[in-house]
Amino acid sequence: DDDDDDDDDDDSDPAEAFVASLRRQKDSFGRGQPLRRPNPSVAPPSSSVILVGTAVPGPTDFEPKAGRILAFEGSTLRSSVDVAGAVYDVVVWDGKVAAAVNHAVLLFDAGLRKLACYEGFVVALKLAVAGPFLVVGDLMRSVTVLQLRRERKKENAGSDDDDPQKVIIEEVARDYDANWTTALADVSSLESSSSSSAAQAAQEISGLENSNEVLLGEGSHNLLALRWKRKGGTVETVACVHLGDLPSCFAAGSLATEVSGTAGVLFGCLSGRIGCVLPVAEDRRAILEDLQRLLVARTRFLGDLDYYEFRALKTEAKIDDLAAFLDGDLLETFLDMPRADQVAIVGELNNTHSASRQGLPMSDDDDVQDDQDDQDDAPIVSVDDLVAELGDLRQQH
């Protein structure tokens, strides 16, 4: 009898596992508003809807073959739908529910009725909404950018569907680099506020100029900024840095209780490390890049590692130089240096930029020439100004 009981236990249904969730206001469905993740410290209002994605792994499944999407209003389950796989991520896209389910992206209406499907991924792991676009982070194949297209349905008198248009998901662009996705964040649809202001942060620090950008956490411990072009359907890497740790999630905001400037993008790593991407004004970039170069030359790194070699992008397919990102940890070491060293470094900065000024064409006007001479004699930056600027950046996180 005991053996029979054991066999019954082995045949029991596998437990349903929580995989992904998202809270949204009810009135946002059907209006095509971009995704904004809520502040977790604020209690959800009664009008909010919580979307939960689950997986039901079988004992012999290579990957889950069953899962569900659940819609809760408060603590009440309002609707649910069964899907053929694990729901790895769920977002609201163009007023509809988009879910990453195994190798596909499924689209549902507010009542969780299936509208469209786009397949062809190894594992559709992460989703990010960038305005009208949906960016899909594939486990092994970097990102794919999708958009919705609507066409009029053929007349069907026997159909119960009142919507005269058919929704189709189509590909806009694809990254052909073999980046392993671990985290994904849109930086174009977030507002410039303390709760969601990553767009300006990522655009300024990495030189991004339009709305088609995302940040990608990559499986070889890299952080990348990607931009796509509709013409040609390509995605390019515009900024990259090796973190030395596995980035696993992104969140807009700051760890500081009071943020004096624009908040940025936080990222969490597998080891428990927390980092952030902060905005840097374009007119200050050249100064800070030169400061970083001078600090690298004066710093002896742990294990005598070559700084630029360590920070270079490293994947299984290639190695690229550090591009666009500035190293905030390194820059902030300037604040802890003796005053004499700070003065020496600022002197080198001023000499470098004074030499570049002298390369500019001279004016024939005497008054203008006098002004140029005065500007050439004036220091580009002072120690106190640089300390204040770096101190402000430090306080933002």
Q: In this predicted structure, what is the pLDDT of residue 127? A: 95
Residue 326 CB neighbours (<10 A): 20
**Nearest CA among 62, 69, 107, 116 for reference residue 88:** 69
Residue 190: burial class (beta carbons within 10 Å; 0-12, 13-18, 19+): buried
CA distance 322 to 336: 25
Report residue 40's pLDDT band, with 50, 70 and 90 as the boundaries. very low
Q: Look up residue 338 and give its two tokens.
A: 């003796």
Which has more pLDDT, 34 or 217? 217
Q: In this predicted structure, what is the pLDDT of residue 332? A: 93
Share of residues in the chain with pLDDT > 70 (%): 72
**pLDDT above 60: residue 360:** no
Q: Taking residues 361-385, what's their average pLDDT?
A: 59
CA 303 to chain CA centroid, nearest Å: 31
CA distance 17 to 20: 10
**pLDDT above 70: residue 367:** no
Q: For 259-274, how does the pLDDT look when each residue is reduced to its tens digit (9 = 90+)?
A: 655 667 899 999 999 9
Q: In this predicted structure, what is the pLDDT of residue 196? A: 33
| Contact (Cβ atoms closer than 8 angstroms) between residue 377 and residue 357 | no
Q: Taking residues 146-165, what's their average pLDDT?
A: 70
**pLDDT above 50: residue 181:** yes
Q: Taking residues 303-308, what's their average pLDDT?
A: 88
Q: Is 313 helix (H, G, I), strand (E, B) or coil?
A: strand
Q: In this predicted structure, what is the pLDDT of residue 362? A: 40
CA distance 165 to 371: 65
Beta bridge partners of 145: 135, 173
Strands 87-93 and 319-320, how do they pair?
unpaired
**Nearest CA among 95, 103, 166, 164 for reference residue 134:** 95
CA distance 95 to 33: 6
Q: Taking residues 327-341, what's their average pLDDT?
A: 93
CA distance 293 to 50: 48
| Contact (Cβ atoms closer than 8 angstroms) between residue 96 and residue 150 | no
Q: Look up residue 55 and give its two tokens.
A: 């997986």
Report residue 201's pLDDT band, with 50, 70 and 90 as the boundaries. very low
| Contact (Cβ atoms closer than 8 angstroms) between residue 80 and residue 108 | no
**pLDDT above 80: residue 118:** yes
Alpha helices in the chain (DSSP H): 2-10, 198-206, 282-298, 307-311, 328-331, 339-358, 366-377, 383-395
| Contact (Cβ atoms closer than 8 angstroms) between residue 281 and residue 204 | yes
CA distances from 262 to 7, 192, 294 (A): 60, 7, 27
Alpha-carbon dihedral 184, 186, 192, 195, rounded to 10 degrees: -40
Amino acid at 113: R
CA 265 to chain CA centroid, nearest Å: 8
Beta bridge partners of 152: 165
Arithmetic mean of pLDDT over the chain: 78
**Nearest CA among 222, 227, 191 for reference residue 311:** 222
